[in-house]
Structure 1
Amino acid sequence: MDPFDGWHTFTGWFKQSTPLVFQIGCKLQMLHLGWRATISYTFTNQQVDKSAGGFPTASLNKVRRGTDVTRDDINRRRFLSGSTATILTSQLAARMCATVQAAESPAEAVRRQDLLQRAPECYTDDWLRTNPDYVIYLPKTPGERDEYADHIHVFYTPGGDLMCLWTQGTYESAPDMRVVYSRSRDGGRSWSPIQIIDEPKHKNVTPALGFPLISRSGRMYCLYNQNLGYTDQGLFNGPLRVKYSDDDGHTWIASGVDIPWRRTRFDHPDPKVSPTGIVWQQPIRDGKNRMIVGFTRWSSPMAYPRPVGGNRNHSDSQCELMRFENIDDGPHPRDLKVTWLPDREGTIRVSPQIEPEASNGYSLAQEPGIALLPDGRLFMTMRTVTGHIWYTVSEDHGHSWQTTQPLRYHDNGPKIEHPKSPEPLYRLEDGRYLLFYHNHRGYRDGATGPWDMDARRPIYMTVGEFRPLAEQPIWFSRPKFLFDTQKVKVGLTQLWWLAMYASLTEHQGQRTFWYSDRKQFVLGKNISDEMLADMTVPS
């Protein structure tokens, strides 16, 4: 998540399931928009990727509009996306599903059929591409306020329900972003209609990127970035607003409390302009059982001007943490005690290793994934633009950290390759660790380097185990492929990304990875013991 991330312009992408070339001509008259459009589609089928569950892809080669529209561009895009979805759903979806089911076992076919029956209505069936086991939310129509879905936080409430908290909007960084939630009482098989925790009350005063804090008192908190209109880093800029719930998350109370970010030399000199910090994973417990969470701090352009434009347009950034000292007492949000870590600002940084940023002292270290080690130390991974994940370790509960270095599969082993994308790390109940990543440096399938957002696919996972005497205290297995989008774009935003702003739950022997597919479909996938059985970690 970058505070400057925007949305991609419309290009059409379709899929079909038989070797077929055809043309469809549609003349559509939209009287309420005051315009006519003639659209000619040419589809060319591509080879089926059997390793991806049998899903083929095809590209839309031509879109020709007869006249200019009289409304803004988003209405044109919404109309075009809506018309393509109708063609897909009515004529191609059944054929696509039949192709997939032909290669499935009977048990898998039953599971998929049950999933389809329970899934909410959606303009496309391409949400099946990553072969999920659960569906939390699907947008009914492309280009509406619910298309964008990001920062997926799934957790168990004190009362035992599954709850999903996420950010929703028309597209990433849209002024209509809001914080929403849904809940399940049957282990994730079905989910309630979404409820809103907060949404914009005024233009460009936007709430987004919420995350939960669950107190042992039973009180639940939701913290989210609240833009107040003073910003130099986009709509994600602002203090942490706090709402809380005393009824297991069914209703949320406005506390009137905004927690300001710690101010540092990396921030805008005007105190009205908030520092830019983004929390992307749920908090964990540290070695003293206190709740702690990592976040990215983006330096203000007033402190570190952006030296390069285009696809390499990066802000200076670093990793920090916040610890909630008294959360388990269930205090009113105004009485929350927060400790900002590390003690010395500017500690957790990584040189981009590209010019001119490197020579000017810039850092790009973002989206820390933190995990507790059995000996009480904290282990942190982070995304960079070096083509690899980096890591650091704290021996004093986050107050100071070792010098950052590339993450390897084991001491003196190969570096773990990964572009600028989130790299979620989880400690499992059995003491092992799971790391999700892309397993390439950023040049795969036409991507231009580690900084290229279009390098955010496919998804692999690796199992980690604690090695107490090693320099790098977690060693990892060989990677295992999990899923991919095959560069197929969907919806108005036309993303093919698999950016894993995700979460993981374990309950009664079931382990589930919850994620957003192409920042649009909110899904879950079981990670069974059988899937991990052959992922051996070096001794």
Structure 2
Amino acid sequence: MNRLYLSVIVMMVVLPVSDAMGQDLLTEAINQTPSAVDIASGLAIPSEGYCDQPYVLRLANGTWLCTMTTGKGHEGQSGQHVVSCRSSNRGKTWSPLVDIEPADGPEASWAMPYLTAYGRAYVFYTYNSKNMRDVIASTPYARKRVDTLGEYAFKYSDDGGKTWSRERWFIPVRETNIDRRNPYKGDVRFFWGVGKPIRHKGSMYLGFTKVESFGENFIGASESWFLRCANIDTQRDPAKLDWETLPKGDHGLQSPAHSIASEVNLTGLSDGSLFCTYRTVAGHPCHAYSRDDGKSWTESAFMTYGPGGRLVNHPRAANFVRKLTEGPYKGRYIYWFHNRKTKGWDGRNPAYLLGGVEVDGTDGKHIQWGEPLAVLYDRNPKTRISYPDFLWDDGLYITETQKATARVHRIPDDLLKWLWEKGHPKSSKSAK
């Protein structure tokens, strides 16, 4: 028997189903037309070793300002903190890292940057303000981590991230039922956020996750929430910013089938509605619409490709929605996910995009998604590609991380074009 043929048979026998599926998707991504991008070809963003959530603001002068969570240890270990760096040549080179919070202070994690209308850069992050590592070490909490507890802190920079304010401020996040159910009955808060805040009707919206409990898989129960700041683009005194925790009431966005509803991400629609996605452990993400600026949301539901459409498949991983605000596809939507029905942390390679356009519904605008196309891959099927950002600068750039190397990638124009001109059931003229 041919040796190559025999090896293929053996691989089919010994590989778990999920691994075999991952290899098949990886092979498709490598061979598809237009070609997906090998992450090894990307431009590295500096870090201290561990790196997460590399999010980029494009400043008025064209400079890129990147914030991220980094550290010399592994995720969740002591020394984890938030930093920034700058690039004036679209990621080819970067300035040295600048500490937003120092590595020798309490843990600071999950930086989310926002650029105001007048040019100030804010960064929001989870801050272990009471330095509770020793306290947590004596409890049964999974992994003894302190990077999802404390205060929602923020600092700002008025010089494009070259320096950051010495003072930090805390957001007065409203206590809700899930806080009172946590092991400290709300005296200590557990939470984190992903992605970048958005501007909607003159206000800033930031999505985040509240945590009730911890288990063998770290997070045991969670809900998705939002923070709205109505005056951040006009009020220059950080102490006078107005904060509101949404939705109204005592319960956040939940999964219809499980206790995990995390890492919510949102965008605004042309009729003033809000649309969000968040992750679950059901093999599908959730989506929801708000027609009243985030005060209430549609009933919890797994995400579909459009009204009445088939379910979107996705593991327990970040899934992001973005509205393109520049370029030939301005006003359309892209959605990052992994197109794989698994319930755990794996299955994050390849990464896929959907292209979306708005369609009319009985209660307002909805997003109709086209067919999936792989956008990024790594040749090792076990690599976890995640926590992207999307930046338009005379073309689409995507940042990503596998927790060890953060990179930026220029996405080929033909790949973006395919999402609507070949991969979408609607005419390319149907976007609004």
Q: TM-score range by the shorter chain?
A: 0.7 to 0.9
Contact kept, 8 Å, 1:153 with 1:211, in 2: the verdict is: yes
Corresponding letter in the other structure for 2:152: L
Q: Indicate the residue corresponding to 1:513 in structure 2.
A: 398
Matching residue within 151, 154, 177 for 2:53:
151
Contact kept, 8 Å, 1:52 with 1:129, in 2: the verdict is: no
Q: Distance in 2 between matches of 1:338 and 1:474?
A: 29
Q: Indicate the residue corresponding to 1:258 in structure 2.
A: 170
Is 1:220 the counterpart of 2:104 in the alignment? no
Q: Indicate the residue corresponding to 1:476 in structure 2.
A: 369
Corresponding letter in the other structure for 1:538: P
Contact kept, 8 Å, 2:256 with 2:302, in 1: the verdict is: no
Q: Indicate the residue corresponding to 1:211 in structure 2.
A: 112
Q: CA deviation at 1:310?
A: 4.1
Contact kept, 8 Å, 1:221 with 1:245, in 2: the verdict is: yes
Q: Which moved more, 1:522-531 or 1:336-345?
A: 522-531
Q: Distance in 2 between matches of 1:217 and 1:316?
A: 39
Q: Distance in 2 between matches of 1:201 and 1:534?
A: 47
Alignment of 1:320-335 (within 5 A): 320-335=225-240
What residue ranges of structure 1 are gaps of 5+ in the alignment?
A: 1-45, 55-107, 109-127, 140-145, 354-362, 443-449, 490-495
Task: Compare relative contact order (CA 8 Å, sep 6+) and give the higher one, 1 or 2.
Answer: 2
Structure 1 or 2: larger strand share? 2
Deviations 1:327-375 (A, max 9, x none): 112422222211111111314111345xxxxxxxxx3111112011111
Q: Indicate the residue corresponding to 2:336 in structure 1.
A: 436
Q: CA deviation at 1:51?
A: 6.0
Deviations 1:387-430 (A, max 9, x none): 11111100011011110212111232211100110001111121
Q: Distance in 2 between matches of 1:200 and 1:523?
A: 22
Q: Distance in 2 between matches of 1:163 and 1:470?
A: 41
Q: CA deviation at 1:270?
A: 4.7
Matching residue within 227, 241, 249 for 2:153:
241
Q: CA deviation at 1:501?
A: 1.2
Q: CA deviation at 1:207?
A: 1.1
Contact kept, 8 Å, 2:397 with 2:408, in 1: the verdict is: yes
Aligned length, in residue pairs: 378
- Distance 1:278-1:310 versus aligned 2 partners, 3 A rule: closer
Matching residue within 179, 202, 209 for 2:82:
179
Q: CA deviation at 1:289?
A: 2.3
Q: Distance in 2 between matches of 1:261 and 1:271?
A: 15
Corresponding letter in the other structure for 2:333: Y
Contact kept, 8 Å, 1:261 with 1:275, in 2: the verdict is: no
Q: CA deviation at 1:131?
A: 4.4
- Distance 1:479-1:259 versus aligned 2 partners, 3 A rule: same
Deviations 1:142-164 (A, max 9, x none): xxxx2211011111124431011
Q: Distance in 2 between matches of 1:381 and 1:214?
A: 22
Q: CA deviation at 1:271?
A: 7.3
Corresponding letter in the other structure for 2:203: R
Q: Distance in 2 between matches of 1:470 and 1:485?
A: 42
Corresponding letter in the other structure for 1:229: N
Q: Indicate the residue corresponding to 1:345 in structure 2.
A: 250
Q: Indicate the residue corresponding to 1:416 in structure 2.
A: 312
SS in structure 1 of the partner of residue 239 of structure 2: helix
Deviations 1:291-324 (A, max 9, x none): 111111111x3xxxx5xx545x642111110011
Q: Indicate the residue corresponding to 2:288 in structure 1.
A: 392
Deviations 1:190-222 (A, max 9, x none): 2112121112445xx211111112222222222
Contact kept, 8 Å, 2:204 with 2:229, in 1: the verdict is: yes
Corresponding letter in the other structure for 1:475: Q
- Distance 1:130-1:219 versus aligned 2 partners, 3 A rule: closer
Q: CA deviation at 1:483?
A: 2.6
Q: Indicate the residue corresponding to 1:197 in structure 2.
A: 100
What residue ranges of structure 2 are gaps of 5+ in the alignment?
A: 1-22, 427-432
Q: Distance in 2 between matches of 1:130 and 1:256?
A: 35
Q: Distance in 2 between matches of 1:407 and 1:292?
A: 21
Corresponding letter in the other structure for 1:453: W
Q: Indicate the residue corresponding to 1:463 in structure 2.
A: 355
Corresponding letter in the other structure for 2:95: S
SS in structure 2 of the partner of residue 397 of structure 1: coil
Q: Distance in 2 between matches of 1:196 and 1:152?
A: 14
Q: Distance in 1 between matches of 2:110 and 2:252?
A: 25
Alignment of 1:253-332 (within 5 A): 253-267=165-179, 268=182, 270=184, 273-286=187-200, 288-299=201-212, 301=213, 310-311=216-217, 314-332=219-237
Q: Distance in 1 between matches of 2:205 and 2:153?
A: 17
Q: CA deviation at 1:245?
A: 1.6
SS in structure 2 of the partner of residue 375 of structure 1: coil
- Distance 1:459-1:263 versus aligned 2 partners, 3 A rule: same
Q: Distance in 2 between matches of 1:317 and 1:242?
A: 23
Q: Distance in 1 between matches of 2:380 and 2:266?
A: 30
Corresponding letter in the other structure for 2:323: R
Q: CA deviation at 1:466?
A: 0.7
SS in structure 2 of the partner of residue 478 of structure 1: coil
Contact kept, 8 Å, 1:260 with 1:274, in 2: the verdict is: no
For the aligned residue pairs, the C-alpha RMSD in angstroms reads: 2.7
Structure showing greater radius of gyration is 1
Q: Indicate the residue corresponding to 2:19 in structure 1.
A: none
- Distance 1:266-1:483 versus aligned 2 partners, 3 A rule: same
User: Sequence identity, in percent?
Assistant: 27
SS in structure 2 of the partner of residue 323 of structure 1: strand
Contact kept, 8 Å, 1:159 with 1:248, in 2: the verdict is: no
State the TM-score, normalized to the length of structure 1: 0.65
- Distance 1:323-1:50 versus aligned 2 partners, 3 A rule: closer
- Distance 1:188-1:256 versus aligned 2 partners, 3 A rule: closer
Q: Distance in 1 between matches of 2:255 and 2:379?
A: 31
Contact kept, 8 Å, 1:244 with 1:254, in 2: the verdict is: no
Contact kept, 8 Å, 1:132 with 1:524, in 2: the verdict is: no
